[in-house]
């Protein structure tokens, strides 16, 4: 068992130790943090920007910004959550640049009533994804989530794909906990509804009735 530094009775998260070393100029410690979280940052950036080049830029800029701002990292939130907040802001900024003249925010298009009540009530087969090849399935999943309003998509991605808690998601996006919960429910229900078109049980026997 390696020695873990403690503060009082609480264990210090290994990331905090890396952050402390990086603050003192240890670039290799920062590199470890990059390697640990670059995939997640890339994924989040892709989901928000829907653009490969932008996502690459977001990865670079987010880590650089994090490095420059390491002194501002308080250690009372997780490093990962703090980093994700930077990445989400960078990604939204990129999205705005691409869509000049159109306001883009996480509040966009969330006033829709769609998805409050399920309409397609057909059950799915036991292994619905087996009906498709891996690449077909990935395409279906990408297309389906891209159809969500950005404000729902980002909540679903942070909470359900990246595994942040509801509170962390709220903190990251500057939303209230009830707002996150309401968006998450509608995002989940809308995705479920849209995926039903592909995964419903009677799909192979002629599709929708």
Partner 1 sequence: MTCTEFIALLDDLMDDRVSAALRAELEEHLRGCEHCVVTLNTTRKTIEIYRSHELYELPNDLRSRLHKAILAKCKKC
Interface residues toward partner 1, by CB under 8 A: 27, 30-31, 34-35, 38-39, 42-43, 46-47, 55-56, 59-60, 63-64, 67-68, 116-118, 121-124, 128-129, 137-138, 141-142, 145, 156, 160-161, 166, 181, 184-185, 188-189, 191-192, 195-196, 199
Shortest distance in whole angstroms from residue 156 CB to partner 1 = 8
Q: CB nearer to partner 1: give 1 or 117.
A: 117
Distance in angstroms (rounded) separating the CA atoms of residues 140 and 136: 6
Shortest distance in whole angstroms from residue 48 CB to partner 1 = 11
Q: CB nearer to partner 1: give 42 or 203.
A: 42
Shortest distance in whole angstroms from residue 129 CB to partner 1 = 6
Q: CB nearer to partner 1: give 114 or 129.
A: 129
Q: CB nearer to partner 1: give 110 or 189.
A: 189
Shortest distance in whole angstroms from residue 25 CB to partner 1 = 9
């Amino acid at each position: 068992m390696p020695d873990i530094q403690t503060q009082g009775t609480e264990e210090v998260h290994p990331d905090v130790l890396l952050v402390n070393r990086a603050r003192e100029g240890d670039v290799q410690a920062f590199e470890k943090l990059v390697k640990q979280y670059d995939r997640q940052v890339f994924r989040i950036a892709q989901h928000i920007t829907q653009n490969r080049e932008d996502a690459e830029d977001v990865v670079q800029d987010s880590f650089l910004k994090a490095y420059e701002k390491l002194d501002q990292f308080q250690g009372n939130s997780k490093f990962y959550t703090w980093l994700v907040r930077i990445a989400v802001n960078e990604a939204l900024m990129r999205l705005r640049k691409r869509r000049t003249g159109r306001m883009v925010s996480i509040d966009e298009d969330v006033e829709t009533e769609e998805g409050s009540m399920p309409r397609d009530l057909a059950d799915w087969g036991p292994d619905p994804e087996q009906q498709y090849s891996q690449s077909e399935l990935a395409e279906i999943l990408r297309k389906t989530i891209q159809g969500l309003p950005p404000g729902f998509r980002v909540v679903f991605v942070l909470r359900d794909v990246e595994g942040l808690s509801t509170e962390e998601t709220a903190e990251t996006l500057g939303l209230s906990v009830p707002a996150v919960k309401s968006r998450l429910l509608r995002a989940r229900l809308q995705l479920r509804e849209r995926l039903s078109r592909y995964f419903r049980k009677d799909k192979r026997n002629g599709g929708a009735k």
